[in-house]
């Protein structure tokens, strides 16, 4: 009887281990930066230009893009106290009068957080929001010399950048040695956001879509996150310990036709631990990480990085 019980337990354990291995393999961040086609670049630029487009004089209603996109962005910024967080960052690292850059500055609501502010965005249509310096440009090819800024921040941007490692590289390049970065992408963007599975009714979907929607509570839970991400983080930590590592992430298909919900337009899913390893493996320092960071998701928390170029 005991042998049968032990055999059953062993089968259960082996089955659980197999499931963890399969889930880890499915969620492993296989993607790295790849060259973009001209069509991909044009599609992204057109989308974000439309998102902030100023309506013409003969139009009494704002565009659907602008109305919903800006409303969602403003509500999220308020919910997560973004202005307060960035204000504290500027104060804590004595950046009030020093040159600072915001990557993906959008409507420019953070431009008065620091005196010597520069905003950078891919969309020319946001220029009307600014009374401080604004530059049109891509996060992956910024028009600034090396070591231009003492502080850099970016809020909910890198998940929309097709080549996020290049954007990290650029952010680090324009930051001076000893400067600080405040990085808050939407970490681990879910693949179901593009089609709005969380906000649309079951009647909108076929059988496969209904199954996806029904699985979201489980896939969003800690019980699912832990076995699918901790093994990956362990593997990637070992790899990063041998020197500068590539940034690995999961590529997503954005929805540029319908903005169902936040991150419907995300092009990648970056894990915060993977981003942290990218900087640490180059000799930089994470100022708000601790031993528990490897075990916990950081969905709404920033990475604060001090750049050490001499070490890298």
Indicate the pTM of the whole model.
Answer: 0.85
pLDDT of 182-191, one tens digit each? 999 999 999 9
Q: Provide the 8-state DSSP code for 204.
A: G
pLDDT of 35-58, one tens digit each? 767 777 677 767 666 666 654 433
Q: In whole angstroms, what is the distance from residue 66 CA to residue 49 CA?
A: 10
**pLDDT score of 139:** 93
Would you tell me how many other CB atoms lie within 10 Å of the CB of residue 86? 24
**pLDDT score of 56:** 43
Contact status, residue 215 vs residue 191, Cβ threshold 8 Å: no
**pLDDT score of 239:** 87
Find the helix packing angle between 82-92 and 64-79, rounded to 10°.
60
Q: In whole angstroms, what is the distance from residue 237 CA to residue 130 CA?
A: 41
Average of per-residue pLDDT across 297-302: 77
**pLDDT score of 39:** 76
Name the residue with higher pLDDT: 164 or 295.
164
**pLDDT score of 260:** 86
**pLDDT score of 57:** 36
- Name all domains of the chain by residue range, CATH numbers in brackets: 31-306 (3.40.50.150)
Query: What is the rounded average pLDDT for all residues in the chain?
Result: 85
pLDDT of 238-284, one tens digit each? 988 888 999 999 999 999 888 888 889 999 999 999 999 999 999 99
- Per-residue pLDDT band for 310 (boundaries 50, 70, 90) equals confident
- What's the per-residue H, E or C state across 81-147? CHHHHHHHHHHHCCCCCCCEEEECCCCCCCCCCCCCEEEEECCHHHHHHCCCEEEECECCECCCCCC
């Amino acid at each position: 009887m005991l042998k049968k019980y032990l055999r059953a337990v062993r089968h259960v354990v082996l089955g659980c281990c197999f499931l963890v291995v399969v889930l880890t393999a499915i969620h492993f961040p296989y993607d790295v930066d790849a060259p973009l086609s001209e069509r991909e670049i044009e599609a992204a630029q057109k989308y974000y230009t439309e998102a902030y487009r100023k309506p013409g004089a003969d139009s009494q209603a704002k565009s659907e893009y602008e109305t919903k996109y800006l409303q969602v962005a403003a509500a999220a910024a308020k919910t997560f106290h973004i202005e307060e967080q960035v204000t504290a960052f500027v104060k804590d690292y004595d950046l009030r009068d020093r040159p600072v850059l915001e990557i993906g500055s959008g409507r420019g609501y953070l431009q008065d957080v620091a005196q010597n502010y520069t905003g950078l965005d891919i969309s020319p249509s946001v220029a009307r929001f600014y009374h401080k310096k604004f530059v049109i440009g891509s996060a992956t090819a910024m028009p600034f010399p090396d070591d231009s800024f003492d502080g850099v921040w970016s809020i909910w941007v890198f998940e929309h950048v097709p080549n996020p490692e290049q954007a990290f590289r650029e952010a680090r390049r324009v930051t001076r040695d000893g400067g600080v970065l405040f990085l808050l992408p939407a970490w681990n963007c879910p693949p179901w956001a593009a089609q709005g599975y969380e906000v649309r009714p079951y009647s909108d979907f076929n059988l496969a879509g209904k199954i996806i929607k029904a699985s979201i509570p489980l896939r969003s839970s800690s019980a699912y996150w832990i076995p699918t991400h901790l093994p990956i983080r362990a593997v990637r930590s070992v790899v990063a310990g041998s020197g500068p590592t590539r940034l690995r992430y999961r590529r997503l298909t954005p929805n540029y036709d319908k903005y169902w919900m936040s991150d419907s337009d995300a092009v990648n899913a970056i894990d915060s631990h993977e981003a942290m390893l990218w900087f640490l493996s180059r000799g930089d320092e994470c100022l708000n990480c601790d031993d528990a960071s490897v075990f916990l998701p950081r969905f709404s928390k920033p990475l604060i990085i001090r750049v050490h170029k001499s070490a890298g």
